[in-house]
Amino acid sequence: MESLHPRVRLLWVGRTAVTGLVLAGLLVLAGRFVGLLSLPLELVAAGWVALVGLGAVHAVFAHRIWRFSLDDDALFLVRGVVTRTDTSVPYVRVQHVDTTRGPVERSVGLASVVVYTAGTRGADITIPGLRPERATELRERLRDLAGESEATDAV
């Protein structure tokens, strides 16, 4: 079982911080201009800090739990802090594989692999926090595995 790059925690916390900042901004704006509920700025800041703290704890646990492996016939993932989910994606079912690098991901030097299936619930499965080389390698490996297990039936 392979775990994610430790720096992914930074990425997740960063994401929480940004989302929190947007939320806080909206709250402040709503208070100032619409007069819906005007919270003191200190309270908003404290809320933001609390959110980021929670996010950090979540990120640490999420990283500790996140595992994936390329088994004989399926890609296997374990994730989820609150609700733990094991997912197995049979290689036959892989439709296509992407590597993506968003701006935030690029800034910490990481990449993600997204695996698409024709299913409805798990139509796209993302493996975040990979080194770019590892992401490319994984994508190519998955593509090969999917090609090898090519099946007759199409959807």
Partner 1 sequence: MRRLDPRSAALSVARGTAQGAIFGLVIGTTLAGTLGLPAWVVPLLAPGGAVVAGGLALARYYRFRYEIAGDTLRVESGVFARQSREIPLGRIQNVDTTQGALNRVLGLAVVAFETAGGSATEATLDAVAPSEADRLRRIVQRYGEDAEQDTEPTDDGVVEGPDEGVTAAETDAVASERGAESAEQLFAFGYRDLLTYALVSVRPAALVFLLVGLPLGIDVALGVLRFNLGLLGSDASVAVTLLEAIGPPRLVALAALSLVQVTIAALAVSVVLTLVEYYDFTLVREGDDLRYERGLVRRYSGTIPLSKVQTVTVRENVLMRRFGFATLVVETAGYSGGNQGSTQGVAVPLAPRETVYDLARDIEPFEDVSVRRPPKRARRRYAARFAIVATALTGVAYALDTRLLSSGYWWLALGLFALVPPAAHLRWRHRGYALTENVFVARSGFWQRTTSVVPYYRIQTVFVGRSPFQRRRRLATLTADTASTASLLGGSANAHDIDEDTASDLRDTLRERLYQDLFRRRADAASTDE
**Which of these segments, 18-26, 59-67, 103-111, 118-126, binds partner 1 (CB under 8 A)?**
118-126
Q: Name which of 138, 130, 137 is nearest 109 in CA terms.
A: 130
Which residue, 49 or 151, has its beta carbon nearer to partner 1? 151
Q: Is 118 in the site for partner 1 (CB under 8 A)?
A: yes
Give the shortest CB-82-to-partner 1 separation in angstroms.
6
Q: Which of 80, 114, 137, 143 binds partner 1 (CB under 8 A)?
A: 80
DSSP-assigned states of every residue in 34-65: I-S----HHHHHHHHHHHHHHHHHHHHHHHHH
Q: Which residue has the tokens 């402040």?
A: 28
Q: At what angle do helices 8-29 and 41-65 cross, to 10 degrees?
A: 150
State in angstroms the smallest separation of the CB of 99 from partner 1: 20
Distance CA 91, CA 74 (A): 5
Taking CB under 8 A as the rule, which mask of x and - marks residues 59-78 in contact with partner 1?
A: --------------xx----
